[in-house]
Amino acid sequence: MFSRLARIVILIGLAVTIALTALIDANADPLAKDMFGAEKLPTVGAPKSYGFYSKGCFTGGVAIATDGPTWQAMRLSRNRRWGHPTMIKLIEKLSHDAVEDGWPGLLLGDISQPRGGPMLSGHASHQIGLDADIWFTPMPDRRLTPQERESIQPRSLVNEKTHLVIDRYWTPAHERILKRAASYPEVERILVNPGIKKKLCDTVKGDRTWLAKVRPFWGHDYHFHVRIGCQPGSEGCKKQADVPEGDGCGKPLAWWFTEEPWRPNENPDAPKARDVMKLSALPKACQMVLNAPSPKSEALVTMGDTGGSDNPVARVSVPEMAGSTPAAASAFAPTPKVDIPMPPSRPRG
């Protein structure tokens, strides 16, 4: 028989072991968003996406420059200008094509974190470098200051109660930019608010095949979301389902205009998937992605016309920006005269 003292010592020993094991487990399997949210730079090497849009990561990411002649990136503090090089090239191309179509230039929302993965805030997807948000608010004809890029509130195009597009905000240019984005073979889906899908269904004349890629989804009332397919060389990338046949108007859209999709969440405080996703829930490769080396600087992996140290926003002091246009902005083509409403402020939750 053990003495009482011996039993106490054994019990304490057990308790310490259990506590330590729990601690080691927590360290070995942390929350994925904490790990990926802390990464400042991508990995060097070939671009590869691992996993799915809402559960994965990627290597070989590149950033789009904060400024180009036909775009400006918003919310710079989030450091979400990273994507698969094909995604970044596609955004650049869309920005040029959009200007040709009469859109003054793109305001870019989130793409991905430098190595993807779940984020500390917002978005369930955007995890493998193949998703990008683009504002429905066109680029103004001056460079926004870094502060403005944080604070300007985009305007929703959709009435919150009726879920229909607010007609005075909708222009043919909105239709054209969505059609242009849908025209690229790499693009598999464009997510928009159901009200915007309905507006297209009701008004698009002629070729309607591109409407198949435009999918209704909650939110997406002040931006559209462009998703490209898994890219060659990414064997670990999980392909999304093909979009259904047809233009997606009529019956498939009708559900969105019933009460069901808009019922209040029964459990509003339940944690979101990205908030509880452990590192172990991601593809195994994502652990290696976290440990892989970074390039020496962000400039080395920034694409676009004014990346890195040539970035006019970085070089020009804020008071100077506020009153005048920096030299680099002279590359900005004359803004076509199109009737597109500019952003007023509209606070959004």
Q: Which residues bind Zn ion (CB under 5 A)?
A: 133, 225
**CA nearest to 137, candidates 176, 186, 170, 90:** 170
For residue 135, the number of C-alpha atoms closer than 13 Å in the C-beta half-sphere is 26
Tell me the closest approach of the beta carbon of residue 191 to Zn ion, in angstroms: 7
Measured at the CA of 305, the angle between CA 301 and CA 309, to 5 degrees, comes to 60
Helix (H) or strand (E) holding 179: helix 172-183
Burial of 144 (0-12, 13-18, 19+ CB in 10 A): buried
Q: Which residue is nearest to Zn ion (CB)?
A: 225
Tell me the closest approach of the beta carbon of residue 123 to Zn ion, in angstroms: 6
In terms of CB distance, is 98 or 130 closer to Zn ion?
130
In terms of CB distance, is 98 or 321 closer to Zn ion?
98
d(CA 89, CA 201): 29
Strands (E), the chain: 48-52, 55-59, 62-64, 67-68, 71-73, 82-83, 106-108, 131-135, 187-192, 214-216, 223-228, 302-303
Tell me the closest approach of the beta carbon of residue 118 to Zn ion, in angstroms: 13
In terms of CB distance, is 33 or 225 closer to Zn ion?
225
In terms of CB distance, is 128 or 316 closer to Zn ion?
128
Tell me the closest approach of the beta carbon of residue 76 to Zn ion, in angstroms: 17
Tell me the closest approach of the beta carbon of residue 250 to Zn ion, in angstroms: 26
Helix (H) or strand (E) holding 322: helix 318-323
In terms of CB distance, is 179 or 225 closer to Zn ion?
225
In terms of CB distance, is 67 or 131 closer to Zn ion?
131
313 and 321 Cβ atoms separated by less than 8 Å? yes
And the tokens for 326? 């920096």
Tell me the closest approach of the beta carbon of residue 238 to Zn ion, in angstroms: 18
